[in-house]
Every structure is written in structure tokens, then in C-alpha cells.
Structure 1
Amino acid sequence: MRRAAVLGGSIAGLLAARVLSDHADEVVVLERDDIAPAGDFGDGRDPRPGVPQGTQMHALLDAGRRGIEQWFPGFSAEIVAAGAAHADTGAGVHSYLDGRRKVLVGGVEMVSATRPFLEAHLRRRVLALDAVRLVNGRVRGLVFTGDRVTGVRYASGAGASGAAGTSGASGAARTSGTSGTSGTSGDDVLDVLDADLVVDATGRASRIGAWLGEAGWPEPALRRMHVDLGYATALFRRSGGPHEATLAQSLAMLPDGRLRLGTLGRVEGDRWVALVAGYADDRPGRGVAEFLRRCADDPAEPFRQLAADGEPMGEPVTYRHPDNRRRDFHLLKRFPAGLVAVGDTLASFNPIYGQGMSSATMHAACLADYLASGPSPRDPAWSYFKRTRAVVDDAWQTSALNDLKLPHVTGPRPRGFGVASRLSDLIVRASVTDPVIHRRFLDVMHMLSPARTLMRPGTLLRAARAVRRQDLPAAGAPLDTTV
């Protein structure tokens, strides 16, 4: 390819740019947030405005960590040296179910850091590539020529200049917003960036459906699952230590049937970040007192300890996730060549399960496989969407199966849901005490193995035996785990 354009400088967009740098003479990352005012591409201290959940806790699952490490060798060591926390499930990562710590099993690794920190380090590595450059601008629409997408229209950002600006974009042309461009007014003057391939990484609010529809193409169906999740994140300083758990996760069923979740981890700057979550009318508020009360009431010991020895660094920041979403591109009968989608544009899951960044990494791997197969530039990327469908289906199954157990979640239950739900509960309960089941469970939750591997007869038989040896509540309550 001569040029590829990536719409959005998110984790998904940056990883797509890394893949494209192996196949294109030039890769332009078009990002609406002015993240390079001084040419340093941001210092990782503040979240981008375009990432509303950027202030919330993030942990990189092992599938994502391994994928990034393949494209950027030494990345994990780099960010740990800069302050991120690294932990193995055999020691520093502790998972709790109703306050009972699961048996420790090693071999699965996690990285804990704030989202701005992770993104800034990844952005530096990507933009250090000779073929990649950043353009500050807001996407207004796609350019179609025949049955292909051949470019993108965008409004230049006021802060873009020099290497990160638009004035030096070879092949760019000026066009008026009165030419029928989607989402523009008559006063807009837009840039057109020609591209042989356009990658939409603009996220769950992407306008790709509208852009396709306005050009006469069918729009991908957008599926939604209402979950009404709310969570709050707070930063802490802690006295004493060392602390046994570098990362801790807790899932607990309250006596009234409500499900509560929490995640706690050490991050850069010798700080700790904690997240508490609940559904529907049990969503946490913004106050420090309520946040500490939730931690103190958690049956998992690390959260009670945080409430006792943690010093809050400001007010908690809340975020609401109303629904899970996926766009089913694979169901379309017609689609233009020269266009693909990655990250939350494809699917946005319940964030409690931490699948977002690792899914983006796997989408980038699908893009790498697709491009390595030597596709014709005249054909739609059907084989790419087939590859990503498998990734989306597996992650969707993991989160949706758990979400559908919640009484407030509406929507049709798939055929066999009752049996699948009970078997899922069996696996989770067995993972508390059985190291083999717990390791297989972790492999699925960290997106290292497909969810179906937990339904193998040998695994289910072992899980049933483990549960019989436990003194746990009767099966039937929707007890599952977060990452």
C-alpha cells in the first residue's frame, strides 16, 4: 500500500498502525484529541477527552500483554521500569469469590497501570516507527470511488502543526464542506486524506454506519445488550507494606441478591487504584465516604485493608456503561473495499471483564493475518471480518453469559442458556479450590483460550468433583468472576 489511514489514536488504532507499518509506505493516524501540543505526544498523566473512561482503572490481560510484546519487544519491561506493576497469578494476583481467595496458580501475567500511562508509552513506540505519523483532526466522512473507500474527510485540529499537522500531508487536497460530506456545515473547510486502506478505530460511538448509509451502502446491524453497569475509581496513597497482592479482584453476592465487583492494583507513581462496581440502582456514587464504605464492606481482605490504610487522592470518578454493543459486519451482503474496523467499533463489552485492550490487540493480529494473506485491494475484507468475528463471538459469550444472569438485564436468552449458566457456575466454584480448573479458567478470562474449552467433558467432570468437596452454597446463584 502507498498510504493507510487509521481513524483514532486509541489502543486499537495504535496497534492497527503498528501492523500497517509492515505493509504501507505511510501510515497516518488521524486523532481528534490534541495530544501533541509540544511534540512529545503527551506525558501520560492526563486522560484524553476522547476516552471518557480513561480515568477508570485499567489492567492489561495476558493476551494483550503478549500481543503488544510481540510487536514491541521489551514493552512490558519498559513500562514496569517506568512505574507500572507486573504480577503473576501464582503470587501477586489474588482473586476472591464471596471473600474466599482462590487457589494461586502461576503462568498468567498482568500489568497494572493507568490508561493514560499505558497509552502514552504505546503511542511513543508506534510514532517512533518511520512509516507512522500523527495528524490532529476530526473525521467528517469517508471518500468513496466506485466500490471502494479511497480516503477520509476531516476537519483539521487547531493544535496540529509541523510533523503532527496536516499542512505537510502529501496527496492531501482541500475541499469544501458544501460538497455533501457527512456531518459538516457549509462553513467547514475539510481536508481529504487519500488512502488505500482506511481503518475505523473511533470506538463504540463510531459513525461508520451513517457514513456507509449516506453513500448508498448497507449499514451493519448494531446489537445492544442493556446492562446498566456503574463503577467508580479512586487513587490512593498507602502507608506500610509490602502488600501481599499487587492486584486483587473481588466478586460478591449480597444477601439481597445484588452483585458487587471490585478491582485493586498498584500503578505508577507509587499509587494504588481501586474500582468498585454495581448494577442498576446499586451503582456507586462519587463521594469518598461511600467509596470507602464499599471497600470496608467487601468480603475480600485487600479491599478492607485499603479502607483502613489508604489515603484517598481526591474524589472518586464515576462512569456508567449502559449497554454492550457489537456491529455485525459479517452479516452484510455488500461492503466497500478499502475499509475495516477494529476495537470498540467492532464490539464494546462489559468493561468489568477487562476485554477491551486485549480484544483490540487480537483485532490487530487478525489484520496482520489478513494483510499477510495477500488480499486483492479491489475486494471487500470479508476474510478479515471472518477472523474478527471469532474474537468478538468468544469475548461476547464470556461477558454476555454472565450479564444475562442478572435479573435486571433484559433481552432474549439464547437457546440452552439455563444449562450453560449452571455449567459456568460449576466452573467458577471449582476454580476456588482446584488449581487445574482455576488455570483453565484464567486462560479463558485472559483471552488465551476460547471459552468453549471450559465445556469439555473432562473439565466439567473435574469441576463437579471439586465442588462436591467444597462447602459452598447450592448451585443456581449467578456467581461468576471478573478478570
Structure 2
Amino acid sequence: MRQRLLLRQTCVEDLKYLGQSRLECQKLQGTAVICGGSIAGLLAARVCHDHFANVIIIEPESWLSTVDAVREDAWRQDHPRTRVMQYRSLQGIQVLGFQGFYRLFPNFLEECKKSDIHVCRGDFRSSTWGNWTKTPHAEYGGNLPKTMFVGRPGLETLIRRLVLDTTKYPNIKQIIGTATGASRSSTSSERMEQVSVRKQDGSIVNIHAELIIDCTGPVSAGIKWLQREAFGHSVDGKYAKGTLPVEDLRVSYDQKINYSTLEFKVSKELGERLNVPGGWEGCGPIYNCFTDGLVESRSIYSQRIEGDIVQVCCGAWGIDDLPATLEEVKSYVRSLITDKPIPEWFFQFLDLLAEVDDVKHSRVRVPATNFNRFDKVPNLPSNWIALGDSVMRLNPVFGQGCTKALMGAVCLNTMLQKYGATALLSDFAQNFFKLQASKIGPIWEGVKLGDYTYQTTIPIKGETLSKGWLLRWYIRRLHILAFTDKQAGSALWHVKMFLAPPIDNLQFGLIVKVLWSALMRPNA
């Protein structure tokens, strides 16, 4: 069962097929059109380059066609990313995400170095309620698999620079405009035929498409296109169990999350005095503390990213008043309710940041979380798919958004490797959405399980916050066990890094240990 779920619920095995390009003469003729040029769209374009003769990215923001959008020193960009609300906020990349980027781009490590992006062991230095969880260093000979510590500008700019490199990926072109719709094929009722694009001068152009990929983000523009072209409904008006019409595909809940990020541009001299674990030069993670949702709804996160920038982020469920200055951050951290005290060196670290003059602040009020269940919708066009935030928008606290986008691109590659030898079959989209849902569905359930801990969360219509209480109790006790038990710590780490299916948290030995721990220490 574990092996089946590893194949079904993770992309670990699928990574083996990533980056394997067809010969030019074997590529699918026609154009893959990607609607949206953020991270999901860029990764989709990179995958499509391996399989299609032509790839076009439609990007609405005009400055993303300039050198400012592909520069190595992204921290000096002159333009903001207006369509990405968390562009200047803290983010995380799990080990699986880094491994996927590494396979897609053979020169990835070299380009990370050019952009001052830190590649380090996948130890996020995260404490749980002030306690250190056992991390499986010994399983990897003391050297955990690597990941990267990078801000959103650094990551997105790096990926865009790589994808739009015409010497390596000549089939990819980016045009500036807004995708306004997709129309049904005049020769096949099962397909979309073209994408309409409104260019900067207001003119409309139509691009004939062999494959259309919706990467329009949270607006999920493709849903309106489907409805406009009368897709997404049962032909006879009857819906089999487990299927639903396109207008009912979205489920949503509001976790009432806010977070505030301060960025400090640190000099080399100050960096060496900050006394961060492992030293300043090789530093990525600094200190993160997740709190017990039964007694506290606030957490603290910190890391070093490209350009010698330190990010300190305060996030909370159901609280609007978050720090906007360093002094407010220090008071916030001092007031956190934890089981073990936050280490004193972290407060000394915050004190030293007072010497920094170049400080930026960003604040994000997170919209409601939603999941567009395309895998349950009948009669979808065979050559239209969606990935990234167009399918699922998550609570950003656990930093899973970019890895989720990568997983969607991996699923697309798997489908094109296995089922798109010479042409896209009539069930291509249907099978893609089922594959993608099996991979990202567990992320949705896992995050929702945690969000339902907080009484300020507004649950999905028809559900209550008590849903999943038993599994929530078990996972909480598993974290307690992981303070002292290597097996528990290993299971939690591998699942969080997307290297193992969630069932690893339910190993029989762990269940026995959790129950024994709960019996012996019921009030832990």
C-alpha cells in the first residue's frame, strides 16, 4: 500500500521523467499556449518545450519583457510584481521542489550562484512550540537533501531567465497581453481551438492552440471560458456519483490569515556579527517557530535570502494587528506562548538588526482558500488544462505554493511522456486532472486539517471545525513524540518535504508509540 501511495500521491517517481526532451522531429506539431507567466506558467512552458514544436507564454505585465525581469540581481529590480500579492513576503521551497527545478534546468546550481541564491541542507531550523523536532540527518550521513532559501523575486526572476533563454529553449516565446478567452474548435466539439489575446494597444489576436494551459492564478479565468463555450456539463443532464457541473467545482474556506514581513538589507560586516547557526556565509534558514494551535495562533519565521537580505515574518490566524517595525516584532516574539522558551540568541539577533537602515515592510491579508475540482467535472475540452493557483490556492503559512505549481508541471510532463506520443488523446485533460488531483489533493486535506484547529476559521459549507478531529489529535501527538523519537521526526520531515506519502505518519510502530506516549503523558 505504501508503494502504491508513493506513486499515486507524490511526484518522487515522476521526477525521473522530468527534463527528458523528445527529438525535434518527434515533437507534437502545433502550439502549446500558456495563459499566465508566473511561476506555474513558466514551469509549464519549460515542460512543454520538451514536447511541442512551439510554446507561447501570454504575460499581462509589460515590464516582464524587459531586462529587469531576468536580471541576476533580482533584489535590485525597479518594478514590483503587481499581480503577485506575496512578491515581497517570505516563502519556502520544499526539497521536492528544489529537486524538480534541478532536473528541469541542467545549469540550475550555477544560475543560483549567479543570483546569490543559497542552496543548503533541507533543515528549516523549525521548532514546534519551542521544542526541536528530531530531523533525519543520520539517515543521509549527516547531510540532508538540499533545498533553496530564496525570496519570490529571486526565484521567479531566476526561473524566467532560464525559461526565456532562447539559446537553450528556442521553442519558447513570450508575448505581452491578456488572455481573454478560448473558443471551441470548429471541427471537433471535444477541443478548444484558439486563445484570444488583447494586446497592449487594445487589439485582439487569436492564437491557434494544440494545448491550452490556464495559469491565470486565483482568478481562474478558464472557468469562465469553459462556461462560455458550454463545456463542463453532462450531455444528458445527469451526473454520476462523484461528478458535478462546472459551476459547482469550487470548494472554499476562509482561514483568516494575515502575515507581515520585514526585509533587512544586511552588510557583510553586520552579517558576520549576527551569530546565526552555521555562520553567515552558508546561512539560509535562521529560526522558525510554529506554535501550538490549541493555545496560540501566532508564529515567527526568519531566513536569509539573495542579496544579503534577512526576512523576518510574523503570521497569525484570526489576528489583524501584526508588527510593522522591528521593535514591534521583538515585543511580538517575546509574547508568543511556547512550551520551551525561544532561544536568547534569536533576540540578540533581532537587536543587531536595529543597525540596518534599509528596511522594507510588506503586509498580506490572505484571501479564502479554494480548490477547483476539475477532476470531477465531465465533458471538459481534451486540450485544455489548468495548474498552479488556477486549481488550488493554499494557506501560505507552510510555503507549499511553489512546490504545488511544480507538481502540476510534473504531472503535465508525465502525461505527455506516457499518453501524448503523437497527438493529445480525447481523454488527455480528464486523465491529467485526475493525476494532478491525486498528487495535490493530500496537500489540501493536510493544510485544511491544520486550519480547522483555529476557531476563527470559517469552514467549507456543510462542514464544521470538528471535522478531522481524531487525525488532528494524532498528528499533534506525533509532533510531541518527534521531540524525542527519531522515527517520528523522520516521518514528519519526509512528508513535509513531499518525499513520502502521508501514510508514512501512520506507520504501525508510530501509532503504537503515539498511543503509549498519550497514555503515559496525557497532558504533554
**Equivalent residue, structure 2, for 1:419:** 470
User: Is 1:52 aligned with 2:90?
Assistant: no
Partner of 2:506: 455
Secondary structure of residue in 1 paired with 2:256: strand
- Distance in 2 between residues matched to 1:282 and 1:466, nearest whole Å: 37
Q: Which runs of 5+ in 1 are unaligned?
A: 159-187, 476-483
Pick aligned residue for 2:523 from 467, 470, 474: 474
Determine which structure has the larger strand proportion and give its number: 1
**Aligned amino acid, residue 116 of structure 2:** G
Distance 1:461 1:74, change over 3 A: farther
Instruction: Say which SS state the counterpart of residue 141 (structure 1) adopts.
Output: strand
Per-residue deviation, 1:98: 1.8
1:97 and 2:128 correspond: yes
- Separation in 2 of the partners of 1:251 and 1:378? 46
Would the aligned equivalents of 1:296 and 1:307 in 2 still touch at CA under 8 Å? no
The equivalent of 1:223 in structure 2 is 251
TM-score, scaled to structure 2: 0.79
Q: Is residue 326–residue 350 contact of structure 2 (8 Å, CA) maintained in 1?
A: no
Task: List alignment gaps of at least 5 residues for structure 2.
Answer: 1-27, 138-143, 233-245, 279-283
Shift of 1:333: 1.6
Where 2:379 maps in the other structure, the secondary structure is coil
In the other structure, the counterpart of 2:180 is 140
**Which of 430, 434, 449 is the equivalent residue of 1:386?**
434
In 1: Cα distance, 2:210 partner to 2:418 partner: 17
Distance 1:132 1:257, change over 3 A: same
Q: Secondary structure at the match of 2:178?
A: strand
* Alignment match of 1:281 (pick from 319, 322, 329): 319
Matches within 5 A, 1:199-218: 199-218=213-232
Map 1:3-402 → 2, pairs under 5 A: 3-39=31-67, 41-43=69-71, 44-45=74-75, 46=77, 47-89=80-122, 93-106=124-137, 107-128=144-165, 129-145=169-185, 146-157=189-200, 188-218=202-232, 219=246, 221-236=249-264, 237=266, 238-239=270-271, 240-244=273-277, 246-247=284-285, 248-253=287-292, 257-298=295-336, 299-301=341-343, 303-311=346-354, 313-375=358-420, 377=424, 379-380=426-427, 381-402=429-450
- How many angstroms does 1:372 deviate by? 1.3
Shift in alpha-carbon separation, 1:233–1:211, aligned structure 2, 3 A: same
Contact 1:108 1:443 in 2 (8 A): no
How many Å apart are 1:117 and its aligned residue?
0.8
8 A contact 2:220–2:391 mirrored in 1: no
The 8 Å contact of residues 183 and 229 in structure 2, kept in 1 or not, is answered as: no
Structure 1 or 2: more helix by fraction: 2
Higher alpha-carbon deviation: 413-422 or 277-286: 413-422
Higher relative contact order (CA 8 A, sep 6+): 2
- One-letter code of the match for 1:4? A
Residue 194 of structure 1: how far off its partner (Å) = 1.2
Match of 1:193, SS state, is strand
Say which SS state the counterpart of residue 150 (structure 1) adopts: strand
Structure 2 counterpart of 1:249, one-letter code: N
Contact 1:229/1:283 (8 A) holds in 2: no
Worse-superposed segment, 106-115 or 286-295: 286-295
Contact 2:212–2:385 (CA<8 Å) still a contact in 1? Answer: yes
1:78 positional shift: 2.8
Query: 1:285: Cα distance to partner?
Result: 4.8
Q: Scaled by the length of structure 1, what TM-score is found?
A: 0.85
Distance 1:89 1:14 in 2: 24
2:35–2:214 CA contact under 8 A, matched in 1: yes
| Deviation sequence 1:363-394 (CA, Å, 0-9, x none) | 11110111112345351411111110112211
Q: CA–CA distance in 1 between the matches of 2:133 and 2:199?
A: 52
Offset, 1:99 = 1.7
Q: CA RMSD in A?
A: 2.4
Tell me the alpha carbon deviations over residues 267-320 of structure 1, each in whole angstroms, 9 at most, x when there is no partner.
Answer: 111121111101213551534442342234444336423322213533421001
Alignment partners' CA distance in 2, 1:102 and 1:258: 19
**Which stretch has the larger CA shift, 409-418 or 224-233?**
409-418
Counterpart CA distance in 2 for 1:464 and 1:249 is 28
CA contact (8 A) 2:97 2:406 kept: yes
Identical amino acids, percent of aligned pairs: 22
Name 1:181's counterpart in structure 2: none
Change (3 A) 1:295 1:414: closer
Taking the aligned partners of 1:429 and 1:448, their CA distance within structure 2 comes to 22
How many positions carry a matched residue from both structures? Answer: 441
CA–CA distance in 2 between the matches of 1:224 and 1:450?
24
Quickly say closer, same or farther: Cα 1:251–1:38, change in 2 above 3 A. Answer: closer
Q: What does residue 162 of structure 1 align with?
A: none
Equivalent residues of 1:293, 1:307 under 8 A apart: no
